[in-house]
Amino acid sequence: MSEKYKIDTVGVIGLGYVGLPLALALVKSGYDVIGVDIDEQRVNQLQNGSSYIGDISDAEVSRAIERGFESTTEYNDLRQVDGVSICVPTPLRKSGQPDVSYVVDASERLTSILSEGCTVVLESTVYPSATEEVIAEQFEENGWEVGKDVFVAFSPERIDPGNEQYGVQDIPKVVGGVTEPCGDHAVALYEPVFEEVVRVASSSEAEFVKLLENTFRGVNIGLINELAVTANSMNIDIWDAIDAAATKPFGYMPFYPGPGLGGHCIPIDPQYLSWKAKQHGLETRFIDLADRINRQMPKHVVNEVTALLNKNGLPVLDSEILILGAAYKADVSDTRESPAIDIIDLLQERGANIKYHDPHVDKITTREWRLESIPLTTGLLQEQDCVIIVTNHSDIDLSIVVECSSLIFDTRNATGTFSEQSHIYRI
C-alpha cells in the first residue's frame, strides 16, 4: 500500500450484526481496530471477551482482543484513526420514510474529531445519494473538503447471518466514492480485507446496488407467496411444483414461500428505494405490490390455521397453539421484523393461548407483550391444538414434533419428508 493510502488504524461505529463481524475481519487483516457502540452492555461484553452474536464465538472475540481490538462507547477514541466504517441501524419510520437519524448522529459526532486524510465509509443501507447528502455535506459544512481533506464512500454490507458457506470476507465488496479520490481511498481500505473489491462509479451507484439486490429478492418472494396461495386454492403442492421447475437448467431461479419477510434487509430495503423514487415523481408498482403481498402472509397463516382448527371442531378462541421458531430465519437469534411476532399478535387478538419454542431466542418482548421460550417436550406438544412451524431451525427434532402433535401447519416445508402424514398441512 502506498504512503498516499496508508491506513493502520480503523474505527467501526456500531457493533451489531454488521459492525462486529466487520471489525473482527479488519483485525484479522492486520488493522488496529477501535469499535464504538452506544450500548454499554455490548461494550462490556466485548471487553470481557464475550460475543452476543451467534455467528461469532467468544474465542474469536478474545483472539481479536489479543491482537489489539478495542471497544468503547466514546467517539473521542476515534480521533487518530485513518479510516472509519459506519454500521449503524437505518430502520423505517411508521410513516414508511427512511430513518437515517443514527447516520446523522454518527457523522455529526465524527465531524469534530476527524483527523485530516481520514477515510469514512458508510455501510448502513440508505437511499441513493444519502452518503453524499447526509455525510459528505455535513463534513463540507464544517470546513472539510471531501476528496481532499477527508474521503467519503459507500460500501453496502452483504453479511448473511447463519450462512456457513460465505463468511464476511468471502463476499465481494462493492465500493463507490463520493469523488474519484474518495473511491480510491475506500478501495485501499478494504482490499486487504476482502477477497474481491468491486469498484463502482459513485456512492449513489453503490447505494443502488444494495437496494437492487434485496428488491430483487423481495419482489420474487412476493411472487412465489402469491403463487403459493393460488396453488393451495387449486389443491396443488407448491413445494413439489417449485422442485420440478428448478430442474430446468436455465431461465429459472427457485424462490420459496413463507410466513412473511423478516430481518433488516428484505422487508426494509425495497421501501428505501420506493421512497426515493417517489421523490423523483416515480411509482414503484412491483415493489409496492410485493410488499403488500409479503406483509399479508402472517394473516394468511393465521386464517389457514383458524380454518384447520374449525375443521377439527375447535374454535381459535382459547385454543392452545405452539409457535416453533421466533427468529426471522433458520439457525440465527435475530428477531428483527420476524413474521413470528405478527403471527403471535394476530392469534392473540383472536383469543388463542400462545406459547413458543426457539433454541436461539430466549424471549420476545414487544410493546404489547412478553413471552419466553419454553422447553420442547413430548408433553407440551401433546397439549397443543396446533403447532405452527415458523422457523426451520436445524436443531429442532422434527420427528418428535410430527409424532407428538395432533395438528401441524408448516410454513417452511420443514416437514417435507413427512408429507404423507394427514395431520400436517403446508403453506
CA 261, CA 341: separation in Å to the nearest integer?
A: 11
120 touches 45 (CB < 8 A): no
Specify the DSSP element, H or E, that contains 231: helix 203-233
CA 287, CA 292: separation in Å to the nearest integer?
A: 9
Q: Output the DSSP codes for 341-374.
A: HHHHHHHHHTT-EEEEE-TT-SEEE-SS-EEE--
Q: Output the DSSP codes for 256-315.
A: ---S---SSSTTTHHHHHHHHHHHTT---HHHHHHHHHHHHHHHHHHHHHHHHHHHTT--
CA 343, CA 366: separation in Å to the nearest integer?
A: 13
CA 213, CA 108: separation in Å to the nearest integer?
A: 29
CA 271, CA 265: separation in Å to the nearest integer?
A: 10
Using a 10 angstrom Cβ sphere, with 0-12 exposed, 13-18 middle and 19 or more buried, the burial of residue 176 is buried
CA 103, CA 111: separation in Å to the nearest integer?
A: 12
**Number of Cα atoms under 13 Å in the Cβ half of residue 55:** 22
Closest among 211, 207, 222 to 288, alpha carbons compared: 222
**Number of Cα atoms under 13 Å in the Cβ half of residue 218:** 32
Closest among 216, 182, 222, 215 to 201, alpha carbons compared: 182
404 annotated active-site: no
User: Considering 118, 182, 265, 386, which one is annotated as catalytic?
Assistant: 265
Query: What's the farthest any 2 CA atoms get from each other in the chain?
Result: 76
The set of residues, in sequence order, having a beta carbon less than 8 Å from that of 249 and lying 6+ positions away, is none
CA 128, CA 203: separation in Å to the nearest integer?
A: 8
Q: At what angle do helices 269-279 and 285-311 cross, to 10 degrees?
A: 140
77 phi and psi angles, rounded to 5 deg: -70, -5
Using a 10 angstrom Cβ sphere, with 0-12 exposed, 13-18 middle and 19 or more buried, the burial of residue 69 is buried
Question: Which are the catalytic amino acids?
Answer: 265
